[in-house]
Chain A
Amino acid sequence: MTQPEALPPVPVVRLVGAGFGYEGVVAARADLVVQAGEVVALLGANGSGKSTIIKGMLGLIDHLGGEVEWFGRPMASFRERWRVGYVPQRELAASPVPATLDEVVRSGRVARIGLLGRYRAADRRAVARAIRTVGLDERRRTPVRQLSGGQQRRALVARALAGDAEVLVLDEPFAGVDHESQEALAATFRDLAANGVTLIVVLHEVGPLEGVVTRSVCIDNGEVLYDGPPGQRPASMPDDPDPHGGHDHHHSGDHEQRPRLGLLP
């Protein structure tokens, strides 16, 4: 841990020896404490356990030992879910019944309005703002099944933004998103961070969030291998910095050479 020892405030999220997995089998175990205002990049090769940790801390998969606390409360009794926004790694879930982008993004406010609530003017404004932020303004009334893959990824980001959460947990928010939209999203995340929003972001390269990330956490083989300030490596890093995984490390080939953060500092 590189956090200063001066009595920290209640962390946003605190994992202590927290094990997560599928069907009772542990796939990743992590110790991680994130304070308000941090921008934490989770890095690691395919299959290293980044998504497992993310989903585990949100209570979406099996919690197998250890502790998970949100804002000082054990996950099981944490009710203020509107404080946390989530962007999954996948595309938008298919909608067999037509649903407009507006309707899907609006569901990002469902934690705020509660079980029997209705969407009100403030909700509609937040939704409009979120959709504008991801640059899909003219697609608001489009059925989501007519959106391209990258547009669907942006819709997922908009859904999380719409909730006006204090913490955003983002699983590869840039994957499949074109360069221009990446820049726009990065600018949004920069603004959010500047306004004190805590970001926990799974990334394959820090690229678009260069200078925004305050800390990087490298995952390998289901364990935290490094946790500290984002070290920088020149673009001449070896292609696969992961010594264990024989998995294909995915690159988006159309990026110009940006300084890349190595998996190992």
Chain B
Amino acid sequence: MSASAALLSIEVLDYDFMRRALVAAVLVGLAAPATGVFLVQRRLALIGDGLGHVAVTGVALGLVLDRAPVFVALITAVIGAVVLELIRSRREAVAEMALAILFYGGIAGGVVLVSRAPAGGRSLNQYLFGSITTTSTSDLVTFGVLAVVVMTVTVALGPALFTVSSDEEFARASGLPVVPLNLTLAVLSALTVVISMRVVGVLLVSALMVVPVAAAQLVTRSFRSTYLAGILVGAVVSVSGVVASYYLDTPPGGTIVLFAIGLFAVTLIAQALVRALR
């Protein structure tokens, strides 16, 4: 680490809220791609968006009822994920339609509900666009638990989840509990969406799950290395995005995602250059 970088990070660490923000960034940066890599493999990369929209309804409901919005969002996102998965497992053909309805229903429900909330729509913004710098200590505990759950489950069930998300028919022939495994992945996605929501905002949740994986797979050859590189990229862009947003005075969520996309683009260009020079 260069001297100036060391100085920068030390200054950032002077503030409690920045310390919490950085811890949150690491947790979410690790967890989001850990789920995302299986969603990409299952061709459900955009499910995070759908669940994010459902979470909006949950947040609004939480604001109306004056209950912890993150908790209510968690419940609605899990219900949404399970319903979506059950529809998909029965009628593959209507799954896309169901996802679309989830998308619009989630946002519409959120907008309508929040108009009834005591504080009006203002506090919804921090969920739409993220507000990592308002992370409280109790938020951190929630993020930490959820991140540990996501990482533990994806590692422990790794071989089974890989098989079921790569080739569902073969998974069934192998006697794997396909529906419960898919439901597990759906619930993990909901957990990830809800923890990512506070960091990058609902509108960018999917980006944090998918873009690090997209960047990683440019250079990897195996699923395992994509998983590892994906969570590494996720953590690195999240931390650097938060640090950069502090100095540039930009919104952290958007900055994180732009960093991820930047890394993707730079890797792509570097790869093209290397090929051209060979």
Contact = CB atoms under 8 A, between A and B. Distances in A.
Q: Do chains A and B stick together as partners?
A: yes
Interface of A: 58-60, 79-82, 84, 86, 88, 92-93, 95-100, 102-104, 106-108, 110-111, 113, 115-119, 141-143, 159, 163
A21 to B, nearest CB: 16
Interface in B163-204: 163, 166-167, 169-177
Nearest to A79: B175
B2 interface: no
Top 8 A-B residue pairs of the complex, sorted by shortest distance between their CB atoms: A81-B175, A111-B174, A93-B167, A99-B223, A107-B163, A86-B173, A100-B222, A97-B41
Contacts of B159: 106-107, 110, 113, 117-119
Contacts of B177: 115
Contacts of A107: 159, 162-163, 166-167, 170, 174
Given A97-B37, A107-B166, 17 more contacts: A80-B175, A88-B169, A93-B169, A97-B223, A99-B41, A99-B222, A100-B223, A103-B222, A103-B224, A107-B170, A110-B163, A110-B174, A111-B176, A116-B160, A117-B159, A118-B159, A119-B159
A60 B176 contact: no
A104 B221 CA distance: 12
Contacts of B131: none
16 contacts: A58-B173, A60-B172, A79-B175, A88-B169, A96-B41, A96-B43, A97-B226, A99-B166, A103-B223, A103-B224, A107-B166, A108-B174, A115-B176, A116-B157, A117-B159, A143-B221
A95 B222 contact: no
Contacts of B220: 98
Contacts of A115: 157, 160, 176-177
B243 interface: no
SS class, residues of chain B in contact with chain A: helix
A165 B221 CA distance: 29
B217 A97 contact: yes
A119 B163 CA distance: 13
Contacts of A106: 159
A84 B170 CA distance: 12
Nearest to A80: B175
B181 to A, nearest CB: 8
Contacts of B170: 86, 88, 93, 107, 159
B228 interface: no
A170 to B, nearest CB: 12
B223 A98 contact: yes
Nearest to A84: B173
B213 interface: yes
Nearest to A58: B173
Contact of B166 (A59, A95, A111): A95
A100 B222 CA distance: 5
Contacts of B10: none
A122 to B, nearest CB: 14
Contacts of B156: 116
A99 B226 CA distance: 9
A143 B167 contact: no
Interface in B187-245: 213, 217, 220-224, 226
A99 B41 CA distance: 10
Nearest to B222: A100
Contacts of A99: 41, 162, 166, 222-223
A78 to B, nearest CB: 8
B221 A111 contact: no
B158 to A, nearest CB: 8
B40 interface: yes
